[in-house]
Amino acid sequence: MPLLTRIFIKTALVYFALALAFGILLTLRAPISLFPVYIHLFVFGWLTQLIFGVVYWMFPKYSTQLPRGHDPLVWIAYGAMNLGLILRAIAEPMQAFQANNVFGALLAISAVLQWLAGIAFIANTWGRVKEK
């Protein structure tokens, strides 16, 4: 299993545990709305990140020289995805609790980072999806 896959999967497992912990807080009726963070930690942090890691590992090779495509793109996807998610997990509940420009800007940055993660992953993987 390549390094990037191991990192994606282990990070995904951390998000899985975090998402379920947020689920506990939801059940305890925390004073601020945590549902959007809970669902995105689960679906993006856990499921999508796990898929990214496994696809990077198992999909057909891009070429002999670059079997898994351009690794820097995948590192960008990893970094942008996780920085974006962490910013979101902090700023989204705070913005709902007490809206201000700082948390608003952090949310906008988080949106761009999560979008960028998808673009980088697709850009690297598109060429690996091919007929045998």
Partner 1 sequence: MPRLSVWFVRLSFVHLFLGLTYGGLILANKGIPFAPWTWNLLPAHIESLLLGWMAQLGMGVAFWIFPRFGTGAPRGNVRLVWLALILLNAGIVMVGVQPFIGGNWLSLTGRVLETCSILLFAAVSWKRVKPLQFSNREASS
Q: Does 106 bind partner 1 (CB under 8 A)?
A: yes
State the Cα–Cα distance between residues 118 and 115, nearest whole angstrom.
5
Q: Does 68 bind partner 1 (CB under 8 A)?
A: no
Q: Applying CB under 8 A, which of residues 24, 30, 32, 108 lies at the interface with partner 1?
A: 108
Q: Does 20 bind partner 1 (CB under 8 A)?
A: no
Which residues does 7 contact at the CB level (< 8 Å), separation at least 6? 53, 78
Nearer to partner 1, 76 or 117 (CB): 117
Provide, rounded to whole angstroms, the least separation between the CB of residue 130 and partner 1: 7
Amino acid, res. 88: R
Total residues at interface with partner 1 (CB under 8 A)? 31
* Burial letters 10-22, b for 16+ CB under 10 A, else e: ebbeebbebbeeb
Among the listed residues 123, 116, 42, the one whose alpha carbon sits nearest the alpha carbon of residue 83: 116
Q: Applying CB under 8 A, which of residues 5, 19, 34, 48 lies at the interface with partner 1?
A: 48
State the Cα–Cα distance between residues 128 and 74, nearest whole angstrom.
13
Nearer to partner 1, 5 or 114 (CB): 114
Q: Applying CB under 8 A, which of residues 38, 88, 89, 120 lies at the interface with partner 1?
A: 88
State the Cα–Cα distance between residues 37 and 25, nearest whole angstrom.
11
Q: Which residues bind partner 1 (CB under 8 A)?
A: 43, 47-48, 51, 60, 88, 91-92, 95, 103-108, 110-112, 114-115, 117-119, 121-122, 125-126, 129-132
